[in-house]
Amino acid sequence: MSSLFTPLAIRGNEMRNRLWVSPMCQYSAVDGVPNDWHHVHLAQFAAGGAGLVVAEATAVSPEGRISPEDVGLWNDAQLEAWRPVVAAIRARGAVAGVQLGHAGRKASTTSPLTGGRGTVAPADGGWQTVAPSAVAYDRFAEPVALDAEGIEKVVRDFAEAARRAVAAGFEVLELHAAHGYLLHQFLSPLTNLRDDAYGGSFENRVRLLVRVTEAVRAAAPDAAVFVRFSATDAAEGGWDVADTVAAARLVADAGADLIDVSSGGLVPHQRITTGPGYQVEYAATVRRETGLLVSAVGMIDDPALAENVVADGRADAVMSGREWLRDPHFGLRAAAALGADVPWPAQYTRAAR
């Protein structure tokens, strides 16, 4: 019996297995609207055996995009464009998820597909970025600190995007509070220098994330809500694993169902040593300390490693990214390697024998 290929139900949404597709930006949209590329890109993973396919970081507002080429869910044209993509995922047996995010001070940047790395000026199709404090990331443009009205807009934008996501058919909504984007920027004392109700103490710095989680839960009562954290900033004086454990409890009370545990991305001077499964122990700590459902990420590209992470109780599921890009049928290959009896698409059954 394979632990990795046992189902997992969350709020009535049953994932057929625990090998999932991480959200991966494609930088291929126009005006936030997904297109044929996104359709084929995401549907192939469902055909390849994934239990859950999570669409890339999807902006809750135009100014929340990482780049001008990011997808969004801030208007109904985007909602309608997502419908057939979601239907294709579900028709192939996987649960469809989307990661809702706001890039904050790391927004309005050049797409890596163009080979650049920097801020896109307003004259070139970019925009003024926002953040908890007017502190720039690396060589990016300085953001404007959000005022009270701006913070309220962020909460509303996440809720409205959640409503649109559910209307498009998404069953899992992940809130992106990791990798140095806006919600993470509020969490960390390295980027949050505020002296109001959203800065200073841990309770204040986590306030926006808790409010967003509550708003998304209210907007999408039947959806499974995940929160992705960077468990550590990997920089002196930054957010750490103990903070993540404490925040995980708070977002669970606010309506989150699962904690997706990653790391880093906040500051350029982070120090992280990578390797197969290098972030798994962060997930294991959150699971052990809180009793919450967690997913683990980080170079989990070997079926045996993925199986062990779940079988050993270090995480309830694993998410992989690059391995699915290398092999969109990673799920079927992993099942065969682990001797798991799973249904194959009828068109591919000759390869199952």
pLDDT tens digits for range 74-113:
999 999 999 999 999 999 999 999 999 999 999 999 999 9
Whether 1 is in a domain gets the answer no
Q: Answer whether residue 317 is part of any domain.
A: yes
Q: Which of 137, 181, 198, 282 is catalytic?
A: 181
2 occurs within a structural domain: no
181 catalytically annotated: yes
* pLDDT score of 210: 99
Q: What is the CATH number for 12?
A: 3.20.20.70
Specify if 308 maps to a domain: yes
Residues of the chain with pLDDT under 70: none
Counted domains in the chain: 1
Question: Is 64 a member of any domain?
Answer: yes
Residue 3 lies in a domain: no
Model pLDDT, residue 115:
81
The domain containing residue 39 runs over which residues? 8-351
Residue 161 counted as domain residue: yes
The model carries a pTM of 0.97
Q: Show the tokens assigned to 157.
A: 């934008």
Kindly report, residue by residue over 152-179, the tens digit of the pLDDT: 999 999 999 999 999 999 999 999 999 9
DSSP letter at 240 equals -
